[in-house]
Amino acid sequence: MSSPSTAIKQRARELGFDLVGITTADPPPHLPAFQNWLARGDHGEMTYLERRAADRADLQRLLPGVKSVIVVGLNYHTGPAHGIACYAHGSRDYHDLLGDKLRQLAAFLTGLGGAAKWYVDTGPILERDLAQRAGIGFIGKHTNLISRALGNWFFLGEILTTLDLPPDRPEKEYCGTCTRCLTACPTRAIPAPYRLDARRCISYLTIELKGSIPVELRPLIGERIFGCDDCLEVCPWNRFAKQSPIREFQRRPLPPLTEFLAWDDTRFRDFFRVTPIYRLKRRGFLRNVCVALANRGDRAALPALERARQDAEPLVREHAAWACDRLQNNSERP
């Protein structure tokens, strides 16, 4: 008869998870570094990260009696991204897809006699710390998790459980002297190894930031309209990356950028409702589209941008006006 740990890992792989490891419920080792990151203000406007600080330090507050954490990884790689981060190209939000699988795995744990509570990057836990301690990857200099089996391209999920399971061996750090991710960042958002200034990160600027993108950073965003994978793509560990077989992660065709500017709220909701992009809402997405069109430098976009200057959303109007000015001014240069 197999041990509970073996049975849990087997069930996780049956559910489609590519990586699975087990760690203790001890406090995460990088908690002080996370607290210093917040104190410096590097998290920008993501004030939700400041809340429930005590929960991040003590998993007992999330699940009384917790003894172990099961950490899983799911490959989402579909090839190089173009304007939209690789994880967001699919037809379904990863929170929902991973949630379905974690719910089934949690039920399996309950059947073994333990209480269970699962998360998909929405709970007050330092999941990369737990993942490295569970042995499924290591935190790279870009602050993301790297797997020696999958490279940079996988989602994380966690289940807290009251089952007392033997922990796996923590993963070592294998970045060595490599600094490709630091030099690849267009906005220099990684000022030092293992430190991210989110306020300069293109993923933050195009997703988490709800208001105007700082004018001085707009040209550096390029044609990205949702996230950025530059620091991930250059990682040498991607030589082991594999194509994800999951249908919901595969890319679907997108219309030209100028067509997005003619979409109303209904059209935006209908197209993006079940994808990560939906969280941006129409105004945030069109804000990004305006910046991308300006950076593309194609004056053929001017008619669409001029119409966007009359949009009902002030945020869209502002960025459309900036884009028009940038295209017109660039065209007048010798």
* Residues involved in catalysis: 121
Cα distances (Å, whole numbers) of residue 100 to 15, 71, 128: 10, 15, 21
Query: Torsions phi, psi of 214, nearest 5?
Result: -50, 130
The label of the residue with tokens 């807290």 reads 160
Tell me the β-bridge partners of 23: 69
- Find, among 213, 233, 189, 222, the residue nearest to 86 by Cα: 233
Residue 132's Cα: distance from chain center in Å? 17
Do the beta carbons of residue 18 and residue 73 sit within 8 Å? yes
Give residue for tokens 């391209």: 153
Residue 322 tokens, joined: 């900036």
Phi, psi of 147 (to 5 degrees): -105, 135
Q: Could you tell me if 330 and 312 are in contact, meaning their C-beta atoms sit under 8 angstroms apart?
A: no
User: Side-chain half-sphere of 65: how many Cα atoms within 13 Å?
Assistant: 8
Q: Which residues of 36-56 are buried (b: 16+ CB within 10 A; e: fewer)?
A: ebeeeebbbeeeeeeeeeeeb
Backbone angles phi, psi at 119, to 5 degrees: -145, 145
